Amino acid sequence: MSVKEQHSSKRILMGEDTNALTWLIILNALFFSGILFIKVIYDLTAGHSQTTEFNIDNWVAMPAEGYRFLTRPWTIFTYMFAHNSIWYLISSLLWLWCFGYILQDLAGNNKLFPVYLYGGVFGGIIFLITAGLIPSIHINAAAFSLMGAGTSVMAVAIAATALTPGFRIFPMLNGGIPLWVLTLIFAAIDLGTIGLSNGAVAAAHIGSGLTGFFYIYQLKRGNDMGGWMIRLVNWINNLFNPEKKYQQQDYSYKVIRKPYEKTHQFSQQKLDEILDKINDHGYHYLTEEEKEFLKKASKENI
């Protein structure tokens, strides 16, 4: 089996339980289903007028008023998973799948969640600041809020493009379409849908995009801003699953080949470790020695 085939087999699939892209799509879908379910139950028990007055969206959307946000600080995280329209949800998840798949494949599975969260948090902060500076929004702040995955998806799109702007999609179409062209189309649709009337939301999306660019800029310099998130998740996982951390290993020597049998000069275990490293962190994280090993192993077709 060639190295290219090995890498394809090691590539994390959408159905795997460790796939960050899969979990982001699931979380967004669950949030939408949960909010819709609560609205239906509340409507059946309290009546439509009471449901409208209660307005469940206000408890998960990012408010434009600073004092209201202080009473609902969790909204800086919940808003990026909550949608009030099935069409907004579908469009957000399609763009998330498109750019998230590329970012995950090029930078590693562990980069997608941090970029999504960083983009959402900093986008929410910029929205709050901008809403307080724009007079028209300040007067009618109760009518404005930030909601949906669009802000975080902008960070993912810009991060993927900043990592490899020359990456081409649909290679069968005259050599492929550069990723930056798709990103421009997405940005034009996204900001055009928001419109100039809601400048605070547009500012949030632009700020989120800059956050994604800064994340990749730091990553290329060797600073992984999302490393602490991964370590925290691994620590919690080990805390609740100690058998994985302290799994006993068999150190006994085992002979698995016949005497005088010719063995391959490349270690299959080392090759697997390098491919796992590419999947988790991206090709650019490999050392020169590891890159040379892959090159030689590819020629040997192991």
**pLDDT for the residue 290:** 77
pLDDT at 13 over 60: no
HSE-up (13 A, CA, CB side) for residue 294: 19
Distance CA 3, CA 290 (A): 13
Instruction: Characterize the bridge pairing of strands 168-169 and 177-178.
Output: antiparallel
Question: What's the predicted TM-score (pTM) here?
Answer: 0.73
pLDDT at 48 over 60: no
Region 136-164 average pLDDT:
81
What are the C-alpha distances in Å from 298 to residues 3, 143, 273, 274, 302?
5, 59, 15, 13, 7
Region 158-186 average pLDDT:
86
**pLDDT for the residue 216:** 93
Please, what are the domains in the chain?
20-230 (1.20.1540.10), 264-300 (no CATH)
**pLDDT for the residue 280:** 66
pLDDT more than 90, % of the chain: 34
pLDDT at 137 over 80: no
pLDDT at 24 over 80: yes
- 82: Cβ–Cβ under 8 A, 6 or more apart, which residues? 31, 32, 35, 57, 60, 61, 147, 148
**Which residues are 146's β-sheet partners?**
62
- 235: Cβ–Cβ under 8 A, 6 or more apart, which residues? none
**Low-confidence winner among 107-111, 185-189, 209-213 (lowest mean pLDDT):** 107-111
Which tops the pLDDT comparison, 179 or 262?
A: 179
